[in-house]
Amino acid sequence: MDNQEQQASAADVLTQAIASKLDYLSTLQAAVQHSDDRQVYELLDQVRYYEEVKKTRSTRSVNHLAELVDNIHPQIAHYLSDKLIDYLGHIYPFFYYEEYTTGLFHIYFGNWWDRRLFGDLDVINVRFDFDKTEYQKLRDSFALESQNQRLNTAKIESISAESEQLQSLVDAQATRDNQKSELRDQLKENSGKSSLPWDSGKLKDERQRIIDQLTKLADEDEKALNAHKLIKANDDKILVLSKEDTILNYEKQSIRDSFDDFEHFEAHNASLYADYLNSLLGKSEGEVTVDD
Amino acid sequence: MINENDPSTLTTSGRLVNYNDAIKSGLETGLKFTQLMDQLIKTNDADKLVAAATELANFTLDSDFVTFPHQYSNADYYLLFMSRMLELHDQGKNVILQSRDHREELTQQLTPLGDRGTFNFRVESSENGGVFYRERATGQSLFYLNLERKMFRFNSHALTQLFIIDLHDTVPAETVKTSVKILLDFARYLKEDYGYSVDFNILDAANRQNYAVRSADLPAGVVDRLFVTAAKNDYMLTNGVNGNGAEIQLDKGVVLDIFNNQLEGQPEWVMTVHDDDQKVSWFDVLLKYPFMRDWYLEDLTDLEIASDPLIFA
């Protein structure tokens, strides 16, 4: 091959490459124009589409054409979200979505007070990206249910016990005051006793015993003084925990209403892509039937 | 030189004429008073009733030369006025006016409440004027009335203390409701018939009524507490429609909202109670829902609905 021939063939190859990109883009454009979301999804990830929807291996080799539209994913997601969120609304009636910036969606769980920000909706991949911490709390909360416990039951009980203890310290103030005055009298008596050599060791021991008891009571007095503040702080902690339990309870109830249990919920999430595209497939096939 | 204003310059007959005139004027004042009393006690014309009460509210019966040893206080004319006003609206039986033996002093009872409350008016001594309608045993001033300024203001603090706290354990909610309705109706007549400016406060059942809570910047925990306690009582506190507060659907289409009414600048937390018939007030909610009452009373320092600050400081 001479240079010219080489040049020509290189141009052919490039033309071909450009043509296939143009073809990809114009097919995508046509799909959008015809509101054929199913085809848009197919074009975005052909490998996944064939594996999960067609249940066959993609006959085509991986062509990376989808990378062409990587930088317009926000616009694509914004476009696709319309039908997807409509579909999700029927299956997950307890999720609420907020498009916080073009094509990016926060998921909120429920419409109750201080509902949780539960993660993001990945429209392009038809997938929930749940917040790991929040999701784990929900999972744990389901697991604890068999033991008739809520997520924070144990914590609330231990804080309540602490508050009760503090309260009894406060309530016992009068008793302590009596004990202290008795002990002080004993102390006076002790120091007044003649210190015969053979008694001095005993008296000293007794004196120490009284002082130890007084110190212990003084410590309790000090704790009692701070008790109200601590009890108030404990109340605030309990409120936060009860609130979380209440929210988790609403979440569990929502999941049970729609999916019976957590396992079914997770199974649905796992097959969301295939389920959604099949539903679109069903629709477009339906349209074809009507046209026929 | 004769100076009419200086008795020392007058002749004897001149002095007698002056004395006589002063007595005449004192007696005329007395006569005028009896006319107004007649009008207050007997008239069937609501306009004349209001006119008589307004004049009597500031009437000075004694003069330098004529004094009357037996007198009711100005506050008593207000009680009389209130009874008559209700009577002219066919509600005379709802209050019982009692006069004490050997003393010119009136007290009033609300018929449904019976001897659980005895009421009278207390004259405001400051230059604002007007009177406070007060429960005698507790000293709670339920409302303020000023006939000259055509003002009527309910006091949320006193209504809560007396009816939601003090009488809660011993008087059925329904009785409280019918008793308070008498006061409410009285205020309503003044507003509707005489254009009084009335603040119904926590008794206002209108949907547009914003009940401003005392703590303009409400601590977040207060609403959280309602969320938790509502859930325990099978009510769900949801996010408010306007996105900056909370809402709770009670029974029979009654919806309570609590939200920050100022999106910019100084916060102002308010509550609203909505129902299609506009018949339910915050006070009614407190009477009907024990968990709402508990919540309100626990954080009363923050949540108490504000009353007119110029009257109830």
The pLDDT tens digits of the residues spanning B132-148 come to: 999 999 999 999 999 88
Q: Report the domain count for chain B.
A: 3
Tell whether A161 and A106 lie within a shared domain. no
Under 8 Å between Cβ of A176 and A170: no
Tell whether B215 and B199 lie within a shared domain. no
- Classify residue A205: in a domain, yes or no: yes
Phi, psi of B133 (to 5 degrees): -90, 120
Tell whether A50 and A124 lie within a shared domain. yes
- Give the integer Cα–Cα distance in Å for B251 and B255: 8
Cβ of B239 and A115 within 8 Å? yes
- For residue B96, give the nearest of B119, B76, B78 by alpha carbon: B119
For chain B positions 233-252, those within 8 Å of chain A (CB to CB) are 236-239, 246
Q: Output the pLDDT for position B196.
A: 92
Alpha carbon B72 to its chain centroid, in Å, reads: 21
Report the 10 Å Cβ neighbour count for B279: 10
- Give the integer Cα–Cα distance in Å for A98 and A111: 13
Q: Is the pLDDT of residue B201 over 60?
A: yes
- Classify residue B254: in a domain, yes or no: yes
ipTM value for the complex: 0.79
Under 8 Å between Cβ of A105 and A99: yes
Tell whether B88 and B193 lie within a shared domain. yes
- Give the pLDDT band of residue B8 (cuts 50, 70, 90): low
Cβ of B221 and A112 within 8 Å? no
User: B225 is written with which tokens?
Assistant: 């507490």
For chain A positions 14-33, those within 8 Å of chain B (CB to CB) are none
Any B CB within 8 A of A278 CB: no
Mean pLDDT score of chain B, rounded to an integer? Answer: 88
Q: Is the pLDDT of residue A292 over 60?
A: no
DSSP label at A61?
P
- Taking CA atoms, A136 is separated from A130, A263, B289, in Å, by 10, 14, 36
Q: Taking the CA of residue B34 as centre, how many other CA atoms within 13 Å lie in the half-sphere pointing to its CB? A: 6
Tell whether B198 and B119 lie within a shared domain. yes
Tell whether B65 and B119 lie within a shared domain. no
Cβ of B224 and A112 within 8 Å? no
Any B CB within 8 A of A246 CB: yes
Any A CB within 8 A of B223 CB: yes
- Classify residue A135: in a domain, yes or no: no
Select the residue from B218, B222, B225, B228 to test the A interface by mutation, using most A Cβ atoms within 10 A.
Answer: B228
- Which residues span the domain enclosing A184? 145-259
- Which chain B positions have a beta carbon within 8 Å of A243's beta carbon? 224, 227-228
- Classify residue A173: in a domain, yes or no: yes
- Give the integer Cα–Cα distance in Å for A177 and A180: 5
- Give the integer Cα–Cα distance in Å for B185 and B204: 11
pTM assigned to the model: 0.82
Phi, psi of B132 (to 5 degrees): -110, 135
Tell whether B88 and B198 lie within a shared domain. yes
- Give the pLDDT band of residue A50 (cuts 50, 70, 90): confident
**pLDDT one-digit tens code per residue, B228-273:** 999 999 999 998 876 678 999 999 999 999 988 887 778 888 999 9
**Buried-exposed string A149-158: b where 16+ CB fall within 10 A, e elsewhere:** ebbbeebbee
Cβ of A114 and B236 within 8 Å? no
Cβ of B228 and A242 within 8 Å? yes
- Classify residue A138: in a domain, yes or no: no
- Classify residue A137: in a domain, yes or no: no
- Classify residue B67: in a domain, yes or no: yes
Q: Is the pLDDT of residue A151 over 60?
A: yes
Tell whether B65 and B85 lie within a shared domain. no
Cβ of A246 and B228 within 8 Å? yes
Tell whether B296 and B230 lie within a shared domain. yes
Cβ of A239 and B225 within 8 Å? yes
Tell whether B191 and B129 lie within a shared domain. yes
- Classify residue A103: in a domain, yes or no: yes
Q: Report the domain count for chain A.
A: 2
Structure-token match 């066919």, residue found? B90
- For residue B35, give the nearest of B16, B18, B55 by alpha carbon: B55
Show the CA angle centred on residue B147, arms to residues B141 and B150, nearest 5°. Answer: 95
CATH number, domain containing residue B230: 3.30.310
For B99, the 3-state DSSP assignment is strand
Cβ of A115 and B246 within 8 Å? no
- Classify residue A12: in a domain, yes or no: yes
Under 8 Å between Cβ of B277 and B292: no
Rounded to the nearest 10 degrees, the angle between the axes of helix A153-171 and helix A197-259 is: 140
Tell whether A158 and A219 lie within a shared domain. yes
Q: Compute the residue count for chain B.
A: 313
Q: Which residue, B33, B50, B71, sits at the end of a domain?
A: B71
Q: Name the strands in the sheet holding B255-260, side by side, starting at the edge strand that comes first in the sequence.
A: B211-212, B269-274, B255-260, B245-249, B237-239
Mean pLDDT score, A38-43: 93
Tell whether A102 and A187 lie within a shared domain. no
Under 8 Å between Cβ of B95 and B84: no
Tell whether B118 and B50 lie within a shared domain. no
Structure-token match 């009785």, residue found? B175
- Classify residue A120: in a domain, yes or no: yes
Tell whether A59 and A116 lie within a shared domain. yes
- Give the integer Cα–Cα distance in Å for A226 and A222: 7
Q: Which residue, B136, B169, B203, sits at the end of a domain?
A: B203
- Give the integer Cα–Cα distance in Å for B210 and A47: 59
Phi, psi of A246 (to 5 degrees): -60, -45
- Classify residue B273: in a domain, yes or no: yes
Any B CB within 8 A of A194 CB: no
For chain B positions 170-189, those within 8 Å of chain A (CB to CB) are none
Q: Output the pLDDT for position B3.
A: 60
Tell whether A266 and A254 lie within a shared domain. no
Tell whether B96 and B159 lie within a shared domain. yes
Cβ of B221 and A239 within 8 Å? yes
- Classify residue B308: in a domain, yes or no: no
- Which residues span the domain enclosing B251? 211-303
Q: Is the pLDDT of residue A287 over 50?
A: no
Tell whether B100 and B187 lie within a shared domain. yes
Mark out the alpha helices in chain B (DSSP H runs). Answer: 12-42, 46-57, 74-88, 156-159, 173-194, 220-232, 282-288, 290-298, 300-303
Tell whether A233 and A173 lie within a shared domain. yes
Any A CB within 8 A of B222 CB: no
Tell whether B179 and B245 lie within a shared domain. no
Which tops the pLDDT comparison, A103 or A286? A103
